[in-house]
Structures are given as structure tokens and as C-alpha cells.
Amino acid sequence: MQEEHFLGLFTLFSGFVGFVTNWSVVFFFRSVPSLRSSFGVLSAHAALVSAVYCSIALFWISPIMLLNVEWLRNNSYLAGFVLYLCYDLETETHLLICINRITSTFIFLAILWVVCLLISIIVFPLSGCQMYYDAEIMTLIYTRTPSCQNLTLIADFGLHMCVLTAMIVLNSITFYQFRRKNRAMFNSLNHASSLRKAKSERNFLRQTFYQESAYVVALLTYFLLGTVLEAKWLRFVVILLPWYFVHAYQAMVTILCNPELKKICIRKWRLCDAKGLVQFSHFLGLAAMTVYEVSNQSHLLIALNRFCAVFMRSHYEKLFSEFGTKVLRNIIWIISTIMCVILYEIIGCHFEYDDVSWSLAFVATPECANLTWYSDFTFNTSLVVLTLLINLLTAYKAGRDSRMLMNAAGMKMSKRQRQRELNFVKQTFSQGTTIFAGQITYYVIAPLFTDQILLFFIGTLWAYMHAAEGGIILASNEEMRTFAFKKRKKSNTSVFVSSVSIG
């Protein structure tokens, strides 16, 4: 059951992102002059059906997985019918986007709704097939009968692959015509006008290409990879998550490829413009950096704790007694606080809110850039690498001691014990990688971007990496997952055998 809960959180997150972004496109597209056209109407229609799709994922599928709501589970075939209808509508809407030069857009949309409703009714109620939630594999699946499998293979995979192929062909022709017209326009219009027109057309082509590529990937993963995978987690990620992420991704692409719509959405999403909070945001930055330093140094202290438990067993109780551990913990807090106060308040290299990246950033002066490069990037990267090396060395020594002890006793290491050792190594490596990735994205990758939305996500990735640590710990510790999800199961919580426990 804990796997279903854990995967339900992913469904909840992707459904929420799609819910916000798609409904934003639906409500705000009329405010964008460039979208008051057939292309804008079709894009808004695609966002509408995606919004319904993600709303069902958020308010129907997620409660089934997280709360086990019996009524929703028993009637999941209704959600499956609406999800299939929305999926069908959006796929064919993208085909209409490829031929959006036709003026009778609303007539074609009406025809589209009639055709998709007829297909959905024939595939589900009339044929006796359903798409329902299966608790065994934790996804929505079609009825498991040969006739239903053959019908859905034709009505879903076959039909939509034909539609996607037609979309690719039409967009290729459109791109060719765009290049020809662009060269002619450059000669007839002034340079500024031709650049604006070319940029608008390029955004249109970019949007359609990204959206159709996502649909091709989702369709292939569902019908091809989903049939050969056996692991529940991989099957869930490959089969179900692409669909929710694809529908959330559609609106994000629409927003990112339309600068005017992007500005409107950002303005509407903003809760307030509290100048007082911005003025004193460097105090929040000081607190964030202090906690960040404490976190990195705590990981090093944990690694040293395990190291001493394996390599210095006779001194372990003295070094890491209850009192000694609390003293070391307090020293970390004192050192981190003093260091951050000196660097970011006394010297004046504030870590404060930046209007360009919409996140906390260091003061952009050459002196502060050099200081933070060494005090933050170099120092914390060294801590992460040192922590990773100590943990891997400890894991190797403890594993070898465990095998020697069990060989001397004439015992074989169980599969469960080997899995625990492997999980410890995975956890250590994953945590080190996430922290290191946060440092690299902030100091190396973020300066290469100018787009505000991309800059926001890349510039705040270091904070999200710390949020991901909890998920890494849960994924690497079966006992902790059991306790977190209140599964009635008792098991030993040591990482290695008790004689060489590393704390």
C-alpha cells in the first residue's frame, strides 16, 4: 500500500501543475491580442480539455491512491471515459492547429466534439469495454479481454498514431512554407517588422513541435514499453505519469512560447508586491543560508559518525555519546550562524530577493561574486564530495566486515541484507548528487540563461534539492516508508548487521 501512496503524491503534484497552468491559459488567453485568432482559440480549447483531464487526476485519481475512497474507486470507469474523451479531443485539436488557417474554427470544433463523443461512446459503453482504476498495477487500464484489447489498440493507438503522423507531415510542410515566406518577407518589409513576424511564426512552430513530440512519446510508452515492464514503479512512471505530465506540459509550453500570455499569467499568479518584504528579504536570505550550511555540515557529521562506528569502534562511544553528539550539533549551528552573519551581513554580500530571477540571489558585485564563489560554491562542494567519499568508504568497510563475520560463522548474507547495503550506497550517492547538482545549476548553468521563468527554476533548484532529500531517504529505507505510511509491519532498522552497525 505504501507504493500506491507514494506514487499518488506524484499524481497529485502533476495534476496540480496541470490544473493551474491549463486553467490559466483558458481564462487569460483572451487578454492576449496575438491569440485572438483561430490558433489562439484552438490552443485555448486544447488547454480546456487538458484542464479537465488534470482536474480529474487531481480530484478523482489522487484520492483513490492516497485515501482509498471506495466510491471513486468503484466508479473509476466514469473517470476513464472522461479522460479518454479529453485525450481524444486534445489529440484531434492539435491536428486542427496544424490546419488552423481555415476560418470556420468553431464549426470544426463542433464537428470534433461530435466525432470524439461518438468514438468514446462506441469504444466504452456500447462495446462493453471500460477504462478503470486497477489497484494491482496502480494505473487506469482497459478491460482485460481480447476483444477490448484489440478494439482499444485500433481506436487508441492506431487512430492516434495516424493523427500524430498527419500532424508531423503538416507541420513539416508548414515549416518549409514558413522558411520560404520568411525570406520573401525579409526583402519586402523593414528589418524590425520582419524580425517580429519571424519570431511570432517561430514561436508557433516551436509550440506545436514540442506538444506533438510529447504526445508521440506518451503514446509509444503506454502501448510499447508498458507491455514489457514488470516492476510496478517503472510501469507506473512509464505508463501513467507521461499522460499526466503531458497534459500539464501542454499548457506550460503554450505559456512559455507566448511572451504576452506569459506576462499576463505571471501577473495574475502574483499574490502581492510587498515592497517591505523585498527590502528586508536579506534577513530571510541569511536564515536560508544558515540552515543550508547547517544541513551540509550535518551530513558531514553523520558521515563521520558512521565512519567512527566502523573504523574507530573503541572510541565511538566517547566521541559520539549523547552529550558529545549534542555538543557537536550545537557547534555546527554556532559556526554556520557566525560564518553567514560575517559573510552576508557584516561584509554586505546580501542574499536577497532579486526582481530578475524572482528568487533569492547574492548581490551582483565583483567582490561578492568572488567571495561567494569560494565561501559557498567551493566550500560546500568540498563538503559534499568529502561526505560522499567518507560514506562510500564506510559502506565498503562495513560490508566487508559483515561478509567476513558471516563467513566465519558459516552463514550466507541474505538477499535482504545485501539490499540494505545497496540502498545505503544509493541513498548516499543520490543525496550527494542532488546537493552537487544544486550548486552547479546556481553557479554555472543559471548565468547562461536570460528567460525569467527558466532562470527562476534553475536558480532555485538548490532549494528543491534539499526538499528532494526527504523523498530519497523514504525511497531508500523500507522501514521508514512502512512507518510513514502506517503499514503494520515490524522489521530491524539497522543498516548493516548489528555487530558492525554504523549508527
- Alpha carbons within 13 angstroms on the beta-carbon side of residue 203 total 20
Residues near 386 by beta carbon (within 8 Å), at least 6 away in sequence: 300, 303
Q: ∠ at Cα 217 (213, 219), nearest 5°?
A: 115
Q: What is the pTM of this model?
A: 0.51
pLDDT at 253 > cutoff 70: yes
pLDDT at 497 > cutoff 60: no
Among 269, 292, 327, residue at a domain's last position: 269
pLDDT at 491 > cutoff 50: no
Q: Are β-strands 131-134 and 139-142 bridged in parallel, bridged antiparallel, or unpaired? A: antiparallel
Same domain (yes/no): 262, 298 = no
Report residue 431 CA to chain centroid gap.
Answer: 17
- The whole-number average pLDDT for the span 208-225 is 74
- The whole-number average pLDDT for the span 121-133 is 76
Choose between 383 and 478: higher pLDDT.
Answer: 383
Name the residue with cell 503554450: 254
**CA–CA dist 373, 365 (Å, integer):** 12
Same domain (yes/no): 203, 232 = yes
DSSP sequence for 244-288:
HHHHHHHHHHHHHT-HHHHHHHHHHH-----HHHHHTHHHHHHHH
**Phi, psi angle pair for 228, to nearest 5°:** -110, -15
pLDDT at 154 > cutoff 70: yes
**Phi, psi angle pair for 353, to nearest 5°:** -65, 135
Same domain (yes/no): 340, 216 = no
Choose between 235 and 319: higher pLDDT.
Answer: 319
Least confident of 353-362, 363-372, 479-488: 479-488
Among 269, 297, 319, residue at a domain's last position: 269
Same domain (yes/no): 225, 368 = no
Q: How confident is the model at residue 147 (pLDDT cuts 50, 70, 90)?
A: confident
Residues near 147 by beta carbon (within 8 Å), at least 6 away in sequence: 127, 129
- The whole-number average pLDDT for the span 401-415 is 69
Same domain (yes/no): 217, 328 = no
Same domain (yes/no): 134, 248 = yes
Residue 502, judged by CB atoms within 10 A of its CB (0-12, 13-18, 19+), counts as: buried
Q: Look up residue 62 and give its three cell numbers.
A: 489522487
For residue 335, the model assigns a pLDDT of: 93
Show the domain range for 224: 2-269
For residue 157, the model assigns a pLDDT of: 76
**CA–CA dist 100, 93 (Å, integer):** 10
For residue 183, the model assigns a pLDDT of: 63
For residue 3, the model assigns a pLDDT of: 66
Same domain (yes/no): 228, 323 = no
Same domain (yes/no): 239, 385 = no
pLDDT at 487 > cutoff 60: no
Same domain (yes/no): 203, 296 = no
pLDDT at 332 > cutoff 90: yes
Among 269, 285, 308, residue at a domain's last position: 269
Contact 91, 218 (CB under 8 A): no
Same domain (yes/no): 494, 363 = yes
Contact 42, 100 (CB under 8 A): yes
pLDDT at 336 > cutoff 80: yes
**Collapsing DSSP states into helix, strand and coil, what is residue 494?**
coil
Least confident of 5-14, 256-265, 474-483: 474-483
pLDDT at 37 > cutoff 80: no
Domain count, the chain: 2
- The whole-number average pLDDT for the span 288-300 is 88
Q: How confident is the model at residue 226 (pLDDT cuts 50, 70, 90)?
A: low
- The whole-number average pLDDT for the span 1-12 is 72
Least confident of 27-41, 111-125, 268-282: 268-282
- Please report, for the domain that includes residue 242, its CATH number: 1.20.1070.10
Same domain (yes/no): 260, 301 = no
Same domain (yes/no): 217, 299 = no
